[in-house]
Homo-oligomer: A and B are copies of this chain.
Amino acid sequence: MAEKSLYRYRIEPQEVDFTLHATIPALGAAILNTAGTDAHGKGFGIDALNADNHSWVLSRMAVEIDARPEQYDEYTVATWISDYGRVLSTRNFTLTDAAGHEFGRAVSQWAMIDLQSRAAVDLSWVGREHAEAIVAAEPPTDKPRKIRSVAPTERMQHRVVYSDIDFNRHVNTMRYIEMMLDMLPLELVTDPAPMRLDIHFLKECRYGQTLTVGCELRPRGASFEVSGEDGIAAVRAAIDWK
């Protein structure tokens, strides 16, 4: 049975906002980066899967940040896979400061797709072949919540450009989160209170599409729905501060 894997990072100058604390997308990027690097190192990264015409796709994620670290602060991301289902695998994360205090955590659920058909494939073989990669530790918080409906009070349009897309030519996860945070009042985005983000992906958005981001603002948070020209929800999310 495996142990949690640890990756050390430092908050770099381009990762902080004007409060000199790391932005939520910067911490989210470090979390996703850790997932990619850990899978790569263990032989089931996107590079290895691509050879078989498969890829990992993020299906849902929950991120909790209790306090945003400051520029040049060092921190450690621990990651472990707690289970492989038939359709989704669960990868967990904790974020710990230099003094060993946990200041954040995340739970992510990943599907594997066939790059030709873009359909999900049965994950059971990964569970069998990489059983030694599973760690017997529960997720550090509630699994990502499904956001069922959003009643936007505000809408923003955005055409998908080069800087928005990832290696899959889809809008990358952190760009969605940036678009959402950019619709909130500055005081809320930079509020030092603990926050939680739940995001789930229903459909891929691609280069050249014009997206509509709907925002249902609440006093201490908001729900979001991103859709393409067809109006069908592609991404839903909720962000709340305590």
Copies held by the complex: 2
Whether A166 sits at the interface, judged by CB under 8 Å, is: yes
Residue in B29, B167, B182 whose beta carbon sits within 8 Å of that of A162 in the complex: B182
How far apart sit A37 and B71, CA to CA, in the bound complex (Å)?
Answer: 10
Which of A8-16, A77-85, A123-131, A228-236 is the interface stretch?
A8-16
Tell whether A17 is near chain B: CB-to-CB under 8 Å. yes
- Chain B positions within 8 Å of A161 at CB level: 182
CB-defined contacts of A18 to chain B, threshold 8 Å: 165-169
* Chain A 84-116 near chain B by CB (<8 Å), digits 1 or 0: 000000000000000000000000000000000
Residue A172 interfacial (CB < 8 Å):
yes
Given A162-B189, A181-B163, A182-B161, do A13 and B25 touch, yes or no (CB 8 Å)?
Answer: no
Interface size class of A (residues with CB under 8 A): 35 or more
Residues A16 and B163 in contact, CB atoms below 8 Å apart: no
Q: How far is the CA of A165 from the CA of B189 in the complex (A)?
A: 13
Whether A150 is near chain B, meaning CB under 8 Å from some CB there, is: no
* A110 vs chain B, min Cβ distance (A): 14
Mask for A34-77, Cβ within 8 A of B = 1, else 0? Answer: 00110010000011000000000000000000000001100000
| CB pair A207 B181 closer than 8 Å | no
Partner of A178, one of B29, B46, B163: B163
B163 and A186 form a contact (CB under 8 A): no
Question: Chain B contacts of A13 at CB under 8 A?
Answer: 32-33, 36-37, 46, 167
* A14 contacts B29, C-beta separation under 8 Å: yes
| Given A14-B172, A163-B25, A182-B163, CB of A47 within 8 Å of CB of B33 | no
Interface residues in A152-175 by Cβ distance below 8 A to B read: 161-163, 165-169, 172, 174
**Is the CB–CB distance between B162 and A14 below 8 Å?**
no
CA distance A20 to B45 in the complex (A): 14
Q: Mark A222-240, 1 if CB is under 8 A from B, else 0.
A: 0000000000000000000
Q: Which 10 A-B pairs have the closest CB atoms?
A: A161-B182, A13-B36, A163-B178, A18-B169, A14-B29, A12-B33, A162-B182, A163-B182, A162-B189, A18-B167
- 7 further A-B pairs in the complex, CB-CB below 8 A; given A13-B36, A13-B37, A163-B181: A12-B37, A13-B167, A14-B32, A14-B172, A16-B167, A17-B162, A17-B165
